[in-house]
Structure 1
């Protein structure tokens, strides 16, 4: 790519688009948008406009079928090929690491004991045959009678598994597009009074980890080799880029603040609920499926949370348990940032050097970015408060034996 020239005649290096960086497009976040993944300059597909068939297909019985193969277009015909490609769903379906097996880590919530049990993994789901499709069908329809919720933590999600989960649970494509693009989103859909609904939470957040761990787990050399970058400039001070989407090194305590993602689709159903947790396969060290799977099981060993799970059958409580992981991550990250600010202020007062001014400016930019992410966090909590589970009514349960959600939210 050739260089461009600015208005002063200076040669400018072209902007390098780094594939591992996250650039969320907020206008494409929710299914309430009338034109999913279409921008103002796009031409509407004329073939789609000329169709006379019903745009909403009849529900499939999933008996000896392969309806999953055409997802998402087969279930949501308004998602044309252009939109599926632009949303990155096409890439996720057709261009993925087939050498790495997709594993679904499962755990079940037993409301009689308040305990989460390990239901075992669904290993190596390549999804190219009927056997994998039948395995997912059976997993989402057949479970012990005492299990009110099954949580699925998907590791290295393959294209066919994405299509199968979407087809069986009839998941709105916005869940996958928001997850793949790290777009903060929250929406409730498919509401059936006294029966259930679907709830999606896609929530980017900041996580702190040691520099050693981050460098070990990350695979992008140019962004993780902080010490080499510092060696070229002679100091770490003022050597970082002012890029709030990139990892931020807090060198005073050898800690890295990096973007992470909580992406959950919860099917709340009075006959049995399902939680699907998506985990990105990127070059940055995000929260893994086995880690979150273990944390949820560990939470049920708490006397406090076990009592909550045993008292109420509301599956939203499990989603709240996952949100606690985000709360802890934010607390650790901001604690690290505060320690670094104190360090810089001490150095600034003793040594008036210009690189410090730049460093504080970069930190302020990251701080503003973190504030916007926390705003989305608050919006997600408010959203959950305003989207009660449809079947948690007096008609279905004796209120004397149900724990009110409002008391949990304080």
Structure 2
């Protein structure tokens, strides 16, 4: 095999453009992965937490008074005190450990602005989006110097959007968030009283699923954070583009073999967080991805009708959530009850062209599902009551389909490796050293 140094250098340069390996998530059911009762074993319990009973939690439709938390002279908007303002146990120490403080207290600008894509679903089951073809998003919260006029105005504008009264026809709204910034995290958390575990699990790619703020006949909050694998085109076999400076013959069979050999020599262990280059199909990569949803379910109650109490029924329909009992009685906020359901979708930041699933991608796919004859029939029969369950299910179909594709590709990979076992007599001595033993 002839050794083409220029071609090998080009292939190494392009290999460096592979999607970066993901930081291994903390697969522990403790801080900050989910609402478990204990901290990590080595964490010290704050003595002040033991001196008084916990404050009773409020629900997402109960209004907060501005600056009710913090000193009187603090001129910051009250959402900027999230999460400790609403969840007293989330001390600064826990925010630091969970990664929330790293986002909230960030001083250096993010590489890109935070973009939010919105989709509304009305009582007729029809999906409506204002900027279907735009990649900029419906709302943009600028990333720049803290306190600058442009950044401040974009933050204030989005806070005003969250406070706007929805149209009477609206039943469900969905926010897809790219490049989550600190102010957006705090505003969403404050507006919808989101348990911070949703953000900590999302930021750390920790699988979580739980239900809270349960009020039978009225609604609840559900968090679903799931890690999955999907396929991407491999840069080693991608056709040249106008931006490419590589030679046309850089990606022949010999240079691909050299790339695989160099990977074997440099990485003698299996890195489960890095992209997987397939031997049987070099045009495909397998990469890790994440879907993270916070679903605020509210049963729609038209004005003038009473809200449903406990496990009673309304118009003969079973109250939902169906199988949970209210943990404590709360009658405050009853006048404001009857809002619409909301879904918030968090998306990992990524670098083009090797994007994890972006907010724009999932936004378009959900809109396409709303245009489906089969699914639109389901939405028309479930959305009028404000139930977002089937909308959430259609979003979960995305990682399920990705897994189906991955399993098909892996089946072909296993079959190929079985039919083409490595020959220990060929290759360099360094390659031999890393051959698996029987």
**Common topology (TM > 0.5):** yes
1:205/1:259 contact within 8 Å kept: yes
In the alignment, structure 1 residue 302 sits paired with structure 2 residue 379: no
Measure the CA separation in 1 of the matches of 2:89 and 2:381.
42
Distance change >3 Å, CA 210–CA 232, structure 1 → 2: closer
Match 2:174 to one of 128, 148, 151? 151
Report the Cα offset of residue 109 of structure 1.
1.1
Report the Cα offset of residue 318 of structure 1.
1.0
Match 1:33 to one of 36, 57, 81? 36
- Corresponding residue of 2:139: 122
In the alignment, structure 1 residue 251 sits paired with structure 2 residue 268: no
Measure the CA separation in 1 of the matches of 2:27 and 2:363.
29
Matched residue pairs, number? 332
Distance change >3 Å, CA 261–CA 233, structure 1 → 2: closer
Report the Cα offset of residue 290 of structure 1.
0.7
What TM-score does the superposition give when structure 1 sets the normalisation length?
A: 0.71
Higher helix share: 1
Structure 2: gaps (5+ residues): 1-19, 68-75, 132-136, 241-253, 300-338
In the alignment, structure 1 residue 285 sits paired with structure 2 residue 355: yes
Measure the CA separation in 2 of the matches of 1:360 and 1:257.
22
SS of equivalent to 2:355: coil
- Corresponding residue of 2:414: 341
- Corresponding residue of 1:107: 119
Report the Cα offset of residue 310 of structure 1.
1.0
The higher radius of gyration belongs to 2
1:76-225 counterparts in 2 under 5 A?
Answer: 76-95=87-106, 97-118=109-130, 121-125=138-142, 129=152, 132-133=155-156, 135-139=158-162, 141-212=164-235
Measure the CA separation in 1 of the matches of 2:33 and 2:23.
22
- Corresponding residue of 1:272: 340
Measure the CA separation in 1 of the matches of 2:123 and 2:155.
29
SS of equivalent to 1:40: coil
1:237/1:359 contact within 8 Å kept: no
1:25/1:181 contact within 8 Å kept: no
Distance change >3 Å, CA 31–CA 332, structure 1 → 2: closer
What TM-score does the superposition give when structure 2 sets the normalisation length?
A: 0.67
Measure the CA separation in 1 of the matches of 2:435 and 2:355.
25
Q: What per-residue deviation string (whole Å, max 9, x for no partner) do you get for residues 299-338 of structure 1?
A: 1111111111111122011111111110111111111111
Structure 1: gaps (5+ residues): 1-17, 217-226, 362-410
Report the Cα offset of residue 244 of structure 1.
1.6
Measure the CA separation in 1 of the matches of 2:81 and 2:129.
34
1:115/1:300 contact within 8 Å kept: yes
Measure the CA separation in 2 of the matches of 1:82 and 1:328.
39
Report the Cα offset of residue 45 of structure 1.
2.3
Distance change >3 Å, CA 168–CA 75, structure 1 → 2: same
- Corresponding residue of 2:23: 21
Match 1:66 to one of 45, 68, 77? 77
- Corresponding residue of 1:42: 43
Report the Cα offset of residue 52 of structure 1.
7.5
Deviates more, 1:190-199 or 1:63-72: 63-72
* Two-structure CA RMSD over aligned residues (Å): 3.5
Measure the CA separation in 1 of the matches of 2:425 and 2:207.
38
Measure the CA separation in 1 of the matches of 2:416 and 2:109.
43
Distance change >3 Å, CA 328–CA 292, structure 1 → 2: same
Distance change >3 Å, CA 235–CA 91, structure 1 → 2: closer
Distance change >3 Å, CA 82–CA 111, structure 1 → 2: same
- Corresponding residue of 2:258: 231
Q: RCO (CA 8 Å, sep 6+): is it higher in 1 or 2?
A: 2
Report the Cα offset of residue 54 of structure 1.
3.7
Report the Cα offset of residue 182 of structure 1.
0.9
Q: What per-residue deviation string (whole Å, max 9, x for no partner) do you get for residues 1-41 of structure 1?
A: xxxxxxxxxxxxxxxxx994222232226654123xx3222
Measure the CA separation in 1 of the matches of 2:376 and 2:433.
50
